Amino acid sequence: MLQSLPDSETLYNALLKKDKDYEGIFIVGVKTTGIFCRPTCKARKPKKENVEFFKSVHDALMNGYRPCRVCSPMENKGEVPAWLKPLLDEVSKTPGIRLKDYDIRKRGIEPARLRRWFKQHHGITFQSYLRSLRIGNAFGRIRYGDKIIEAALESGYDSLSGFTETFKKTVGTTPGRSQDVNIVNVTRILTPLGPMFAGATEEGICLLEFADRRMLETQIKRLRKLLNAEFVPGNNKHFAILNEQIKEYFEGKRKCFDLPLILKGTAFQEKVWKELLTIPYGVTRSYQEQAEHVGDIKAVRAVAKANGDNRIAVIIPCHRVIGKDGKLTGYGGGLWRKQFLLDFEMSHSEK
């Protein structure tokens, strides 16, 4: 997440140019109309003195602006632009590929533009992304029987020593000991409420958190220990269906999720998380009611803590648990997101 926005002159020029590279970086509020827009909105551009810039949809909403009907800023932001899709398709089909700046230019893309897009949307450079894919590919080959030297060469490495050093930095162990370590592939899922950080193993989804959640780093550390795993950016067979189902949810087309989940915690935590899955779409329970459902009416505080430790937001609907007095209490993604999710589900529950 960006800590601060570029200067207003840069942002206004990006607005005038409808610069796609700034999608997901800022939202513009138009003082004369009371609406907020994407940087790429096709509506007539306002004068500079009539705009103010925000880091997020939430900030614009909190300042009294309503979403523009032309550019629909509440929809997913930061979608992969058309100029980048062919390159990502190529990389996806060739995990061991190596691309220097010269190779990138031959494909009609400026390396600086590519680096900037990856840093803005994934927090890493394009070359770091390629290295992670190569290591992930090699890890899979070693886990399933390939010799280390074969895995290194097939993954695009010219020397075993270079491969071993990079592998150890990324995975946290040597290739020869990698049979004892699991890999959690990570990616970003785009939603109207901001990007979410997703993690998955071969068995299923183990992490789905809003990227700006303060507890995200702690959750990753816990999972690393619980699953004896290292986190590596890359593809995973579960990400496509996760993307599809999250998109359908925010379009109001999906009320139940159907994908494998990894619920790794204490026996009590797992019991609470499984019970959360039984709360129907558009329905809320109090923490006390949830304690009753898990069989211990006195465990209200423990239930609340287990809710807060939920690592798979939205899918495991901890947002549906509220205070006994009906007030919203505690949500790792922020109470504004909890309110949005509850209002959204309520408005779509009869459809």
CB atoms within 10 A of CB 11: 21
Strand pairing class (196-200; 205-210)? antiparallel
Please pick, among 37, 41, 68, 318, the residue that the annotation labels catalytic. Answer: 318
The pair of three-digit structure tokens given for residue 324, joined into one six-digit string: 């006994």
Is residue 178 exposed (0-12), middle (13-18) or buried (19+ Cβ within 10 Å)?
A: buried
Closest CA to 138 of 1, 46, 234, 215: 234
Q: What are phi and psi of 150, to 5 degrees?
A: -65, -45
Distance CA 160, CA 147 (A): 11
Closest CA to 291 of 323, 316, 260: 323
Q: Show contacts of 212-220: CB within 8 Å, 24+ apart.
A: 212/1, 213/332, 213/333, 214/332, 215/308, 215/332, 219/311
Q: Is 318 a catalytic residue?
A: yes
DSSP H/E element including 344: helix 335-348
45, amino acid identity = K
Task: List all residues 6 or more positions away from 127 whose beta carbon is below 8 Å from its beta carbon.
Answer: none
Distance CA 124, CA 146 (A): 29
188, amino acid identity = R
**Which residues does the annotation mark as catalytic?**
318
